[in-house]
Amino acid sequence: MKENKMLIPIDTITLEDKQDLQRAKEILENPGFAIKVANYIGKPIEMGLEKIDSKVINDATSKALNKSLDIAISTLDTTTLTSSFSNLKHKIMVGGSGAVGGFFGIAALAIELPISTTIMLRSIADIAKSQEHDLDDFQTQLACLEVFSLGSTKNRDDDAGESVYFASRSVLAYEMKLAVDSVANMSQKAIQEALARGQMPILVKLVNNIAARFGITVSEKLVAQVIPVVGAAGGAAINLMFINHFQDMAEGHFIVKRLEKRYGYEAIKQLYQEI
């Protein structure tokens, strides 16, 4: 995806926008999902990650995100007004699917994950719209999927000299650009049909790379859910943390992208680093 260069000097950015960017950074640079869950259940969950079948996770996340890609292109509701009630509704729905996951464990993953991912995608789209982004725009649709790559522990292995958030975005930036360029002048329907025929390998590769990062967080969630003392009630609570985590990532992400449209990518990145 082509990023705008610096359009406006940093000292012309309004105080309100600087405060928004600071809030976004506080969200995006906070500890990842694993630490939040560890604080909830009282112990680190990394110890259980080696017991999780990575192939099961990879298959489930790839299928869930490919389904989400279809939804992002075709059925995101561009008329729904964003509200705290809408976010609460999505949390309740994901909490319910988490109760099932907590009760049945990994056996329910193939059923539960696509449902919770779809619900989260719609919540992410609501947040994008609240930050003045057009859900009919293909770049916005991909940016909604990009949220699933944010805030995993894998991000923390990136270049220590750069923010976690911008390091994560840079990993996908080239493929995001290729994906956008590959559908230039194509209608939403044409993109859907090409996907159905298997003619969009660039998009599929992008989604699989997002899925690899999303899978880290899914693994962390699954480890927490299958702990015997957690059960169905704890599974619901962990899924609420799961959606809250990605709602937070979406809010920070789309604040940054809104400001990038206004001031340019380089200007906002520089100010973000300086905060």
Instruction: Identify the pLDDT of residue 81.
Output: 46
The model carries a pTM of 0.82
Q: Residue 29: phi, psi to the nearest 5?
A: -100, 5
pLDDT of res. 47: 57
Nearest to 223 by CA among 27, 96, 111, 56: 56
Non-local (6+) Cβ contacts of 10 within 8 A are 267, 270, 271
pLDDT in tens, the chain (275 residues): 445 544 566 778 899 999 999 999 999 988 778 777 777 666 666 655 556 667 778 888 888 888 888 887 776 655 554 444 455 554 555 445 544 444 445 656 677 788 888 888 888 988 999 999 998 888 999 999 999 999 765 555 444 456 889 998 998 999 999 999 988 888 888 888 888 888 888 988 999 999 989 988 888 887 777 665 555 556 677 778 888 889 899 999 999 999 999 999 999 999 999 98
pLDDT the model gives residue 85 = 44
- How many C-beta atoms lie closer than 10 Å to residue 195's C-beta? 19
Looking at residue 2, what is its pLDDT?
A: 46
Half-sphere exposure of 10 toward its Cβ, with a 13 Å CA cutoff? Answer: 13
> What is the dihedral sign for C-alpha 126, 87, 43, 234?
negative
